[in-house]
Structure 1
Amino acid sequence: MNKTDFSDMPCPVAKSLARVGEWWSILILRDAFYGLTRFSEFETSLNIAPNMLTRRLNDLVENGLLERKPCSETPTRFEYHLTDAGKDFRPVIWALVAWGNAHFSPEGAASVLVNRHTGVPAQPVLIDANTGEKITSENYRVGPGPAASEQMRYRMDFLRLKQEAGNENLRFNPPAKADA
């Protein structure tokens, strides 16, 4: 089965999924945030086949989320460290922890985000850095950016109009070519 390549799509969600959309990749990033750096550490933590781990690590390096650094010469061994782009994925991991605990952990949370200084569990929320306001669907929506195509602008306008009108009967009927 061939994997669909989303990297050329204009949608930022699609572009992001092209880099981290494979579940092993997200789990490797999670473990990198927890401090793992060596192939053997990832392999043991994830119980992943070495060939799969090699592919995923290579993809994460190629996509600029991890960097490979030599840590020994004989035999040659490497460590994997988060790049700035990789570090910027951390809030996504924190959001997945909170979302998974809230919706898929009836037995209770296996891990939680805690304040480093107090140890008190935190509840991550998305905040608008410009206003300090909590981002909610009541106050915020996704809109077209400066590079949005005509197709994307149509989709964003349609969704806005549908919400504003409260009309569930409106049907999405984009112009001929859909791009994202």
Structure 2
Amino acid sequence: MNRDRFTAMACSVARTAGLVGDPWTLLVLRDLFLGLTRFDELHRDLGVATNVLTDRLERLVAAGLVSRTPYQRNPVRYRYQLTEPGEQLYGIVLSLLAWGDTHLADEGPPMHLVHTTCGSSTTPVVTCDHCGGELAVDNVEVQPGPGGRAAPGTVVIAEMLTGNAS
């Protein structure tokens, strides 16, 4: 699948999905968030083919979400670590985890999250950065932004946001 076609869309969801919207990529990110940093650890944990893992790591490095630094010279082996933009994807991975725990974990959640600041078990929610209120589909209004335009993948949405039919 050519995920690069999504980068041309005037939609941040499409652009982000084109970059990280693959199950193996999300699982690599999950493992990096959990502290795995070496290729052999990632490979062993995920059980994915080495060429698939190599491809996903290369994409994440090329996008600036992960850095790759050698930790061994002969043979050369690398450590993979999230960069600041990569760390900012944590909320996305937590949101997927929370949804999966609610709707797909029949035997209970595979992991429990504990907020180290207060010591309490927690379930991730998306909140307003201004008032702290939880964001939900029935209390958020979308308005046109400066980068919005009618283009493949956003034709009808652009019409809805601007009120202009093309």
TM-score, normalised with respect to structure 2 = 0.88
**For residues 130 and 8 of structure 2, what CA distance do their matches in structure 1 show?**
30
- Partner residue in 1 for 2:160: 155
Relative contact order (C-alpha < 8 Å, sep 6+): which is higher? 2
Alpha-carbon distance, 1:153 to partner: 2.9
The answer for the alignment partner of 1:139 in structure 2 is 139
For this pair of structures, how many residues does the alignment match? Answer: 160
Offset of residue 115 of structure 1: 1.8
Equivalent position of 2:2 in the other structure? 3
The code of the aligned residue for 1:149 comes to R
Which blocks of at least 5 consecutive residues in structure 2 are unaligned?
A: none
Question: Aligned-pair RMSD on alpha carbons?
Answer: 1.9
1:99 aligns with 2:99: yes
* Aligned counterparts of 2:60 and 2:160: Cα–Cα separation in 1: 31
Where in structure 2 are the equivalents of 1:2-151 lying within 5 Å? 2-4=1-3, 5-116=5-116, 119-150=119-150, 151=155
Query: Which residue identity lines up with residue 156 of structure 1 in the other structure?
Result: L
Output the CA distance in 2 between the equivalents of 1:64 and 1:147.
Answer: 22
Q: TM-score, normalised by structure 1?
A: 0.81
Shift of 1:145: 0.9
Classify the secondary structure of the residue corresponding to 2:113: coil
Compare the two structures and name the one with the higher strand fraction.
Answer: 2
CA shift at 1:3, angstroms?
2.2
Q: Write the distance in 2 (CA, Å) between the matches of 1:156 and 1:104.
A: 34
What is the percentage of aligned positions where both structures have the same residue?
35
